[in-house]
Amino acid sequence: MPETSCLVELRNVTFSYGERSILRDVSLKVPRGKVTALMGASGGGKTTVLRLIGGQQRADGGQVLFDGQDVGQLDTAGLYAARRRMGMLFQFGALFTDLSVFDNVAFPLREHTDLSEALVRDVVLMKLHAVGLRGARDLMPSEVSGGMARRVALARAIALDPELVMYDEPFAGLDPISLGTAAQLIRQLNDAMGLTSIIVSHDLEETFRLADHVVILGAGVVAAQGTPDEVRASTDPLVHQFVNALPTGPVPFHHPGPDAAEDFGPLGGRP
């Protein structure tokens, strides 16, 4: 994939939380203008990748490139400039509970631009209209459903017309109707606005239907990447276990610990 066709690229990235290694020599590309799904078993480093792209964390080694810039090498001003080109939908929405729906969406506009309140109003209403919630502008987060809250968060994520939108578990906890609505919105907004989208999700079927490109992380490395069909056809044992939802495989059922005999003694050893 040519470099110009990638908005985000990780090159030989390593990262650890203290003694715990999370990413080990990870290289992956996010195609510009496409929906990329970042998937894998829990604890595989998916959300960490989003944090590295957004600059909340810095890689221990390698490069995290956003439109050719190494995020880890940016100063504060450069990082803030890069973040203005990114939108983030946090898990469960993460709305400000003391702000109305309108003010939640207006927040990044008031924080990062000098727009007049009249223009802020117009932009907010356009973004809310795009997610079907223009009529909910005056409600508080406690007055909207979980699916509606996720859509408000999506309107906030696109308020600054970003080039990249990152979604951390956008389907978690949603009923089938809300999930389908959220997936349709992600696809429509990506195509209509010319976005590049990265989705971290465990919802296999919906995400594979939605995504153009899939990356499977496992044990801190890239186990597979390609189109949904290419990833489904992978012979890698971890990918096979993941896409087929198998309880046994490279991802073990038991967390590593002492041998059972150490805890319970030999079988039949109890009086």
pLDDT in tens, 120-146: 999 999 999 988 888 888 999 989 888
pLDDT of 93 over the 80 cut: no
| Confidence band of 4 (pLDDT split at 50, 70, 90) | low
Q: In the chain, where does DSSP find H-type helix?
A: 46-54, 76-83, 101-112, 117-130, 146-157, 176-193, 204-210, 228-232, 237-243, 260-264
Per-residue pLDDT tens digits for 172-229: 777 788 888 888 888 988 998 889 999 998 888 888 888 999 998 887 888 888 998 8
Q: What is the b/e burial string over 154-177, where b = at least 16 CB atoms within 10 angstroms of the residue's CB?
A: bbbbbbbebbbbbbbbbbeebeee
> Are the CB atoms for 185 and 154 separated by under 8 Å?
yes
**Domains recognised in the chain with CATH numbers:** 3-85+162-264 (3.40.50.300)
CB count, 10 Å around CB of 82?
18
Residue 158: strand, helix, or coil = coil
CA distance linking residue 171 with residue 204, whole number of Å: 11
Per-residue pLDDT at 105: 93
Highest mean pLDDT among 17-21, 66-70, 178-182, 265-269: 66-70
Q: SS3 helix, strand, coil % of the chain, rounded to 5?
A: 40, 25, 35
| Beta strands 35-40; 196-200: pairing state | parallel
